[in-house]
Amino acid sequence: MTMSEHDKIRELLALAAAGALTSAEEKQVAEHVRSCIACSNELDAWRPIASELRRLPTPQPSSWLVQATLARAEAKFTEQAEHDWNGRLMIVVVAFAWLLTIASWPVFQLVSGRFESLLEPQFSHTQLSHTLLSFAAFTALGWLAGGVAAVMLAVRQRGERRLA
């Protein structure tokens, strides 16, 4: 055992207690400690301190905090993105329902108008109010279809998230 080896090992004792050495260094320390009372005692003194340090959040405060913050931020971001996505989806569904209503109204009118003109060939005030009423009903139906589609999508999305 040389003096330099003893000094070298002494410098590693704190790290050895903390379990921060490479396996080669660890082996070196273990071998030296077996034959050196001073280092053995010092290593024993370091052990509770090291375990105490490990128990405290201070050795890795940044990584702990960063991880927790990142996880929270990620969850928040996902939530926000989902919220935004749902909002956009609602707009799209409503717009689609409207578009569908407006686009299909002439077709509906043509079909029903042709059908009605067979029954009532003469245009009347009753027919006009009937037409307006049909349009209102048709629009309501379009809205309802859009609402149902939105709810179905939301439910399906929640189901998928539960499975994930």
- Asked if 6 touches Zn ion (CB under 5 A), the answer is yes
Distance CA 14, CA 7 (A): 13
- Asked if 39 touches Zn ion (CB under 5 A), the answer is yes
- Asked if 16 touches Zn ion (CB under 5 A), the answer is no
163 exposed, middle or buried (CB, 10 Å; 0-12, 13-18, 19+)? exposed
Which one of the spans 6-14, 22-30, 44-52, 69-77 is the region binding Zn ion (CB under 5 A)?
6-14
Which one of the spans 33-41, 67-75, 99-107, 153-161 is the region binding Zn ion (CB under 5 A)?
33-41
- Asked if 36 touches Zn ion (CB under 5 A), the answer is yes
Residue 143: CB partners within 8 Å, gap ≥ 6? Answer: 94, 97, 101
Q: Is the dihedral of CA 143, 149, 152, 154 positive or negative?
A: negative
Nearest distance in Å: CB 40, Zn ion: 8
- Residues near Zn ion (CB under 5 A) are 6, 36, 39
